[in-house]
Amino acid sequence: MRRVVVTGLGMINSVGHDKESAFKAICEGECGIDTITIFDPEAYSVKIAGEVKDFDPATVMSPKDVKKADRFIHFGIKAAKEAMEDANLPEDTDMERFGISAGSGIGGLPSIEKNSIILENRGPRRISPFFIPGALVNMLGGFVSIEHGTKGPNLSSVTACAAGTHAISEAVKTIMCNGADKMLVVSAESAITGVGIGGFAAMKALSTRNDDPKTSSRPFDAGRDGFVMGEGAAALVLEEYESAIARGAHIYGEIIGFGESGDANHITTPSLDGPARAMKAAYKMAGEPKIDYVNAHGTSTPINDKNETLAVKELLGGKENCPPMSSIKGQIGHCLGAAGSIEAVTCLMAMRDGIIPPTINYETPDENCDLDYVTEGARKAELNVVMSNSFGFGGTNGVLIFKKI
C-alpha cells in the first residue's frame, strides 16, 4: 500500500485568516468567540459564536463569482489557495492524477435560509439561479477544482462534525489505492445563521453563556454547558510519499492510521463504544505507536468530553498511559464539518513547532474528565506521533494518526 504525506496546509477561522496567524493565536490561548454580528441575535436564547470577521471573499475570488457561492465556499477557496501555494507544486504536475476531497457538515445554510425567505415573501421567480450550485456541499470541491485545474477524483464527505476528518481519510484511501497521486483536501463550514443557531439552540446543544462569550466554550471543565458554533475552513495537500521525496517537497508529516466507525445508538447523543472503536482501528493501522499528543474532539458538551476521556483511557490501557490531550474549541468554537481538517492542520503544525496547544477556560475539575488537558497554557514537547478525533451527529466517527518524518 502506498504511503501518504502532507506537503501543504491552509487554514482560516475566528482567530486568524491564515495558518500561521491562526495557529499562533490558538497556541497563545486567544479566543475568537464573541456576540454574534452576522445577524441580530437579540431574540435568540444563544447570542454567541466564533465568527470569521473582516474577511473579504473578493480577495480570493472575482466579485462576480463571490455572488455565485455561499460563504462556506469562500472560506474553502481561501484555505485551498494557501495550501496549494504552500505545497509549491511543480508546473508539470499531472492534474489528471490530482484529485479533490471536500467536506462540510451542512454546506450552504445561509443561502438556504435567504432563498427560503425570498420564496415566502417574493415568490419562486425571485429565487437566485445561483442558489443551488452555490449551496450544495460538493460544490466546495467543484469550485476549488475549477480554480486549480484538478481533474482527478472529485469527492465529498457530508458526515456532520466528522466531515473534515473523513475528507482526509477518503483522500488517503484514494492515493493508497492508486486512484490519484495527489489530493487536495478542503473542508469548510459557515452555519452561523438564524436558522443554524436557532436549530442547535432548540436541541439544547449550545452554550448559553451569553454574558461571557470568551469563557463560554470550556472543554472538559465541570461547568461546561454545550458547544459554541464556529466557522472557517482548512485545506491539506496530500501526496504519495515517493513522489513527494523525489521533488524535494517539504513534508509536514505522514498519515499512518485512520479509523472510522458508527455508533448505531442515537441521532445526537454520542456513545462510548463508537469513538473507542474508531480510535482502536486507527491505532492498529498505525502499528500501535507511542502517541505523544491527542487532539480531542472536546466539544465542551457534558457527554462527549466524558466519553472521549474514557475512550482514550480504554485505548491506551488506563490514565497512567495517556499522553497530554487538549481541545482547541475553547479558542475557535466548534466549526462542525470544518473542525476535523482545522484540527488536522493544527496537529501537523504542532508537530512542526514542538508545541501542544492549550485547552482554555478550564476552571473546575470534573471527576469524569481526569486526564492531562494542557490547561496551564501551550506546552513545549517533542511530538513524533499525534492523534486527532472527530465525532458527529448520527454516530459517525473518524480518527487520524500523523507521524513526523
Judgement on whether residues 265 and 301 belong to the same structural domain of the protein = yes
Task: For cell 517539504, name the residue.
Answer: 250
Sequence-ordered alpha helix ranges (H) in 149-222: 163-176, 194-202
- Residue from 338, 301, 311 nearest 219 by CA: 301
Q: What is the mean pLDDT of each run of 10 residues along the chain (405 residues)?
A: 96 98 98 98 98 97 94 98 98 97 98 97 97 97 98 98 98 98 98 98 98 98 98 98 97 98 95 97 98 98 98 97 98 98 98 98 97 98 98 98 97
Per-residue pLDDT, 180: 98
Cell of 70: 455561499
Q: Domain of residue 119: give its range.
A: 4-246
Boundary of a domain, candidates 246, 278, 297: 246
- Residue from 264, 205, 227, 203 nearest 395 by CA: 264
Judgement on whether residues 265 and 240 belong to the same structural domain of the protein = no
Among positive and negative, which fits the CA dihedral 178, 179, 185, 188? negative
Across-strand partners of 253?
6
CATH classification of the domain holding 298: 3.40.47.10
Distance of CA 104 to the CA centre of its chain: 9
> Do the beta carbons of residue 326 and residue 373 sit within 8 Å?
yes
> Do the beta carbons of residue 38 and residue 102 sit within 8 Å?
no
Phi (first) and psi of residue 100, to 5 degrees: -125, 135
Task: For cell 479566543, name the residue.
Answer: 31
- Residue from 392, 46, 391, 27 nearest 229 by CA: 46
Judgement on whether residues 76 and 179 belong to the same structural domain of the protein = yes
Judgement on whether residues 190 and 272 belong to the same structural domain of the protein = no
As a whole number of angstroms, the distance between CA 267 and CA 270 comes to 8
Q: Quickly list DSSP for 359-395.
A: --S--S-BTTB-S---TTS-EE---SEEEEEEEETTT
Judgement on whether residues 291 and 386 belong to the same structural domain of the protein = yes
Per-residue pLDDT, 219: 98
Judgement on whether residues 215 and 288 belong to the same structural domain of the protein = no
Judgement on whether residues 57 and 125 belong to the same structural domain of the protein = yes
- The amino acid occupying position 211 is D
Judgement on whether residues 264 and 218 belong to the same structural domain of the protein = no
| Alpha-carbon distance values, 76 to 83, 141, 188 (Å) | 11, 9, 5
Active-site amino acid positions: 161, 297, 334
Judgement on whether residues 188 and 274 belong to the same structural domain of the protein = no
Total number of domains constituting the chain: 2
Judgement on whether residues 200 and 273 belong to the same structural domain of the protein = no
CB neighbour class for 46 (10 Å; exposed up to 12, middle 13-18, buried from 19): buried
Q: Quickly list DSSP for 81-101.
A: HHHHHHHT--TT--GGGEEEE
Judgement on whether residues 172 and 242 belong to the same structural domain of the protein = yes
- Residue from 253, 206, 273 nearest 49 by CA: 206
- Residue from 396, 401, 330, 404 nearest 361 by CA: 330
Boundary of a domain, candidates 246, 277, 303: 246
As a whole number of angstroms, the distance between CA 161 and CA 171 comes to 17
Boundary of a domain, candidates 206, 225, 246: 246
Per-residue pLDDT, 16: 98
Q: Is the pTM of this model over 0.75?
A: yes
Per-residue pLDDT, 1: 83
Judgement on whether residues 205 and 281 belong to the same structural domain of the protein = no
> Do the beta carbons of residue 284 and residue 274 sit within 8 Å?
no
Per-residue pLDDT, 114: 97
